[in-house]
Amino acid sequence: MTDDEKYLFDLTGYLVIENVLTPEEVALCNEGIDRHKDQVRLRLGELSLSGSSTALKGTTGRGDMFGMLSWERPWCEPFRTMLAHPRIVPYLNEIVGKGFRMDHWPSLITMEEGAEGFTFHGSSGPGFDPHQYYLVRDGRMHCGLTVAAWQFSDTNPGDGGLCLIPGSHKGNFACPQEMKLYHKYQEFVKPIPCRAGDVAIFTEAVTHGTLPWRAKHERRSLLFRFSPGNLAYGKNYDWGSQVPLDELTEEQRAVLEPPYHTRLHTVLDNQGKKVS
């Protein structure tokens, strides 16, 4: 992670890493999604995400899909690679800290033309959220829950999709409710254009949401959420019951470990002496 990237993430709360996946890798991911598309569930009725916002209403709901890490081969393989992708690990090491772990089951967001937006949310101000936070101490960033959003379709200016309030991860006061509903202060809200193959990384502490999808093509964005190695936001972290761990690399298995503090992760010999 370059000094420029550290500055920009500290300033805004997000980064877009371009061209992480090749066009061929994106195509393989999309083919896997197409083959399992019956697993997409639309958020309709009481599952709607636009709440009382008239600005974020749509003609249909967002689609959610889970479980791609346990799909049959070869369709699971590109998604398992994302657990510890060599292009993304250095960013997570810097932002979340070495020993970071996957906190949530990865979730794919799909949006057809007319899909509603999602009211803005985040943990900035006025209190401190011990799970979703952003701090800098002694020249190092410390983040709680952090998202790596993998893009399988283009998001062009004006399409909608992911948006956030840059800098709000350091806010000291509560975001106005009318701003969360996208009724006021829209000039401070930034949509995040991306290309298929890009990865948007942002701290959950930054106030973020989704604008209604206006493009003709389907939006596809896969969210991996990571926490520091000693922290759990989600309740379930028994990944071994859902993913065959023996099929994963050592690096991928490490990301699926339960939370613990690294200072307690020591190996003793049969004499009780520390060896690692």
In a domain, 59, yes or no: yes
User: Phi/psi at 226 (nearest 5 deg)?
Assistant: -125, 150
pLDDT of residue 267: 47
pLDDT of residue 242: 84
User: Phi/psi at 79 (nearest 5 deg)?
Assistant: -80, -35
Reading the block at residue 197, the tokens are 């193959």
Give the three-class secondary structure for 163.
strand
Give the CATH number for residue 113: 2.60.120.620
Q: E strands of the chain, at which residues?
A: 14-17, 41-42, 63-66, 101-102, 107-111, 118-121, 134-137, 140-143, 146-151, 161-164, 190-191, 199-203, 208-211, 219-227
* Residue 135 Cα distances to 7, 8, 239, angstroms: 13, 15, 29
In a domain, 273, yes or no: no
In a domain, 166, yes or no: yes
Q: How many domains does the chain have?
A: 1
The b-or-e profile of 203-238 (16+ CB within 10 A means b, else e) is: bbbbbbbbbbbebeebbbbbbbbbbbbebbbeeebe
pLDDT of residue 276: 43
Q: Give the C-alpha separation, 276 to 263, whole Å.
A: 11
User: Which residue carries 């983040």 as its tokens?
Assistant: 143
Residue-by-residue pLDDT tens, the chain, 276 positions: 999 999 999 999 999 999 999 999 999 999 999 999 999 999 999 999 999 999 999 999 999 999 999 999 999 999 999 999 999 999 999 999 999 999 989 999 999 999 999 999 987 677 788 889 999 999 999 999 999 999 999 999 999 999 999 999 999 999 999 999 999 999 999 999 999 999 999 999 999 999 999 999 999 999 999 999 988 888 877 887 888 899 999 999 999 998 888 756 554 444 545 444
In a domain, 85, yes or no: yes
Report how far Cα 214 is from the mean position of its chain's Cα atoms: 22
Specify the pairing of strand 118-121 against strand 146-151.
unpaired
User: Phi/psi at 88 (nearest 5 deg)?
Assistant: -100, -30
pLDDT of residue 273: 52
Residue range of the domain that includes 195:
3-264
In a domain, 130, yes or no: yes
pTM of the model: 0.92
In 3D space, the residue among 65, 27, 68, 53 whose CA is nearest the CA of residue 210 turns out to be 53
In 3D space, the residue among 195, 30, 209, 200 whose CA is nearest the CA of residue 116 turns out to be 209
Max CA separation in the chain (angstroms): 68
In 3D space, the residue among 276, 224, 231 whose CA is nearest the CA of residue 78 turns out to be 224
In a domain, 176, yes or no: yes
Q: Give the C-alpha separation, 4 to 133, whole Å.
A: 22
Q: At 3, which helix (H) or strand (E)?
A: helix 3-12
In a domain, 276, yes or no: no
In 3D space, the residue among 63, 108, 60 whose CA is nearest the CA of residue 214 turns out to be 60
In a domain, 14, yes or no: yes
